Amino acid sequence: MFSEQITSAVEKATGLRVRTHQFRHAAAVLILKREPGNYEFVRGTLGHKSLKTTTKFYIGLESFTATERFGEMVDTHLDGEE
Protein backbone atom coordinates (compact mmCIF):
# COMPACT_ATOMS: atom_id res chain seq x y z
CA MET A 1 0.00 0.00 0.00
CA PHE A 2 1.28 3.46 -0.94
CA SER A 3 0.63 4.93 2.50
CA GLU A 4 2.86 2.28 4.10
CA GLN A 5 5.60 3.07 1.60
CA ILE A 6 5.45 6.73 2.59
CA THR A 7 5.47 5.85 6.30
CA SER A 8 8.47 3.55 5.81
CA ALA A 9 10.39 6.10 3.74
CA VAL A 10 9.87 8.84 6.33
CA GLU A 11 10.86 6.49 9.14
CA LYS A 12 13.99 5.39 7.30
CA ALA A 13 15.00 8.98 6.56
CA THR A 14 14.16 10.53 9.93
CA GLY A 15 13.69 7.75 12.46
CA LEU A 16 10.15 8.98 13.07
CA ARG A 17 7.09 6.84 12.41
CA VAL A 18 4.64 9.27 10.83
CA ARG A 19 1.39 7.92 9.42
CA THR A 20 -0.03 9.46 6.27
CA HIS A 21 -3.14 10.53 8.17
CA GLN A 22 -0.91 12.76 10.29
CA PHE A 23 0.09 14.59 7.11
CA ARG A 24 -3.61 15.38 6.57
CA HIS A 25 -3.82 16.91 10.03
CA ALA A 26 -0.61 18.85 9.41
CA ALA A 27 -2.07 20.23 6.19
CA ALA A 28 -5.16 21.43 8.05
CA VAL A 29 -3.02 23.07 10.73
CA LEU A 30 -0.87 24.87 8.15
CA ILE A 31 -3.88 26.12 6.21
CA LEU A 32 -5.72 27.38 9.28
CA LYS A 33 -2.59 29.01 10.69
CA ARG A 34 -2.18 30.96 7.45
CA GLU A 35 -5.90 31.51 6.83
CA PRO A 36 -7.91 31.24 10.06
CA GLY A 37 -11.50 30.25 9.41
CA ASN A 38 -10.96 29.04 5.85
CA TYR A 39 -12.59 25.66 6.44
CA GLU A 40 -13.70 25.43 2.82
CA PHE A 41 -10.06 25.36 1.73
CA VAL A 42 -9.32 22.66 4.32
CA ARG A 43 -12.41 20.70 3.23
CA GLY A 44 -11.32 20.78 -0.39
CA THR A 45 -7.72 19.90 0.40
CA LEU A 46 -8.65 16.94 2.60
CA GLY A 47 -11.48 15.81 0.34
CA HIS A 48 -14.25 15.93 2.92
CA LYS A 49 -17.70 15.77 1.36
CA SER A 50 -19.21 17.89 4.11
CA LEU A 51 -17.97 21.17 5.54
CA LYS A 52 -19.55 20.02 8.80
CA THR A 53 -17.01 17.16 8.99
CA THR A 54 -14.14 19.59 8.53
CA THR A 55 -15.31 22.06 11.14
CA LYS A 56 -16.08 19.26 13.62
CA PHE A 57 -12.45 18.15 13.61
CA TYR A 58 -10.59 21.41 13.07
CA ILE A 59 -12.72 24.21 14.58
CA GLY A 60 -10.27 25.05 17.37
CA LEU A 61 -6.99 24.90 15.50
CA GLU A 62 -6.82 28.55 14.61
CA SER A 63 -7.37 29.76 18.18
CA PHE A 64 -3.64 30.30 18.70
CA THR A 65 -3.35 32.28 15.47
CA ALA A 66 -6.38 34.37 16.38
CA THR A 67 -4.79 35.14 19.75
CA GLU A 68 -1.53 36.11 18.05
CA ARG A 69 -3.35 38.43 15.63
CA PHE A 70 -5.27 40.06 18.46
CA GLY A 71 -1.99 40.64 20.29
CA GLU A 72 -0.61 42.32 17.17
CA MET A 73 -3.71 44.54 17.02
CA VAL A 74 -3.24 45.55 20.66
CA ASP A 75 0.46 46.29 20.07
CA THR A 76 -0.39 48.42 17.04
CA HIS A 77 -3.00 50.31 19.02
CA LEU A 78 -0.62 50.92 21.91
CA ASP A 79 2.06 52.13 19.51
CA GLY A 80 -0.45 54.58 18.00
CA GLU A 81 -0.13 53.10 14.50
CA GLU A 82 -3.84 52.63 13.78
pTM here is: 0.66
Q: What region does 42 belong to: left with phi over 0, alpha with psi -120 to 50, or beta?
A: alpha
pLDDT for 82 equals 59
Q: Three-state DSSP class for 36? A: coil
- Residue 64 near residue 36, CB atoms below 8 Å: no
Count CB neighbours of 27 within 10 A.
14
pLDDT digit string, tens, across residues 19-67: 888 989 999 989 988 888 899 999 999 999 999 999 998 987 777 777 8
